[in-house]
Chains A and B, each alone.
Chain A
Amino acid sequence: QSALTQPRSVSGSPGQSVTISCTGTNSDIGGYNYVSWYQQHPGKAPKVMIYDVTKRPSGVPDRFSGSKSGNTASLTISGLQAEDEADYYCCSFAGAYIYVFGTGTSVTVL
């Protein structure tokens, strides 16, 4: 149950695109299409932004998108906005009803 690997931080200017990677193994990301992404602002609870690799919950802007290739999932934020500055965590189902989170990425809007 090792944590998924994410970059510690990414940054971009308003309007730009940023992509956050999330690397796991064949036992988690590579084995299931159950990757989700969570946004967390300071002092707040996490909020799901993407689920089942590519799906967006109602109310999440379409500038958030997800993808997966092999053992690596990615979250892309297009048209970066000031309110997107937050921590982002990936999460994958890992079989046997176990879940594993990523190490977390801090997104800074310059």
Chain B
Amino acid sequence: EVQLVESGGGLVQPGGSLRLSCAASGFTFSIYWWHWVRQTPEEGLVWVSRINPDGSTITYADSVKGRFTISRDNAKNTLYLQMNSLRVEDTALYFCARVTSGQPHLDYWGQGILVSVSS
């Protein structure tokens, strides 16, 4: 059974940092592309970042470029999102999601982890 479990969210002050994790099980983590997507009531779903199977190709949305870093540890079956210089507008529910190579749609999603940025 495919399982994706996000962790690492919480309340942080503006300018602070958080690291999100997405632990995967039930399939071969290393062969998939991975994405982070965030959601707010105002904007809905917003694509954040993506990483290829070996971590050599990474892309970010303009809104997080230079502040967020996506990474993965294929030995630990875990995806990460290091979020620095957090802003109030980064407050959202963050999802990790899987993409199969050659099929560019998000076929499995985690349940989401809440990040709140507030003073």
Contacts and interface: CB of A to CB of B under 8 A. Distances in A.
Contacts of A3: 43-44, 46
B106 A98 contact: no
Contacts of A44: 111
Given A98-B47, A101-B46, A45 B107 contact: no
Q: On chain A, which size bracket covers the interface?
A: 20 to 34
Main secondary structure of the interface of B (DSSP, over half): strand
Given A45-B95, A97-B59, A98-B59, A34 B46 contact: no
A64 B35 CA distance: 25
Nearest to A37: B105
Interface residues of B, number: 24
Contacts, number: 65
Interface of B: 35, 37, 43-47, 50, 57, 59, 61-63, 95, 97, 103-107, 109-112
Interface string A39-79: 01000111110011000010000000000000000000000
B110 A101 contact: no
A34 B105 contact: yes
Interface string A77-110: 0000000000101010100111111111000000
